[in-house]
Amino acid sequence: MDKIGIKKYIRTITDFPHKGIMFRDVTTLFSDPNGFDLTIKGMLSSVENTNIDKVVGIEARGFILGGALANKLHCGFVPIRKSGKLPGSVISQDYELEYGQDTLEIHLESIGPGERVLLIDDLLATGGTAEAGVKLIEKLGGNIVSCNFIVNLPDLGGSKKLANLGLSTHFLCSFSGT
C-alpha cells in the first residue's frame, strides 16, 4: 500500500539495528521537500474536518511530523520523550520494544481532561511505543481522535494492537516483513 506515492522517498537499510531487520528510514523522506510536503498533506487529510486540540509526537521523528501538523492545524504540540529528557513534573509509562524495554514520559500539565488529541509517529511496528503513548494521553484525560503514522509494518501486529484498543489509525504506506 502507498496511498500518496511516498514509498519512493523512504530508504530501506538492511540489518539495522540488528541482523534480520529491514529498517525503513524516513529521514530521506524528510530531506526531500516534495516528499515532506506529500507526507504532511497526507497526514492532514485524515483529520482535516476534525477539531484537534493537541498533536502529540513521539520522540524523535514524531517531533518533526507533530510540529508541522500542529502548525497547520493551529493547535498545540506536545512531545512524548524517553525517560529523563523532560524537565518538570512528568508521568511515565514502561513499554516493550521489538528488541528490549524502555520508558516514555509526558509533562503532567500538557493535556487537559477532554482535550482531543492526534497521536503522531513515523512508523508502527509492534505497537509497543504507540500503546505507551496512548496510555500516557489517557492518564491525563485526553481523548485520542486518531493515531497517524507514515509507515505501517502490518506483519509485526501493531496496527491490530491499536485496533483492538478501539483506536482509529491512519497510515500513508505499508511494507511487508520486518
Catalytic residue, from 24, 61, 81, 131: name it. Answer: 61
Q: Tell me how far apart the alpha carbons of residues 169 and 178 are, in angstroms, rounded to a whole number.
A: 20
Cβ pair 1, 170 in contact under 8 A: no
**Pairing relation of β-strands 90-97 and 76-82?**
unpaired
Q: Tell me how far apart the alpha carbons of residues 13 and 56 are, in angstroms, rounded to a whole number.
A: 27
Catalytic residue, from 24, 48, 59, 98: name it. Answer: 98
Q: How far is CA 132 from CA 15, 22, 68, 76, 117, in A?
A: 26, 23, 22, 20, 15
Is position 61 annotated as part of the catalytic site?
A: yes
Active site residues: 61, 98
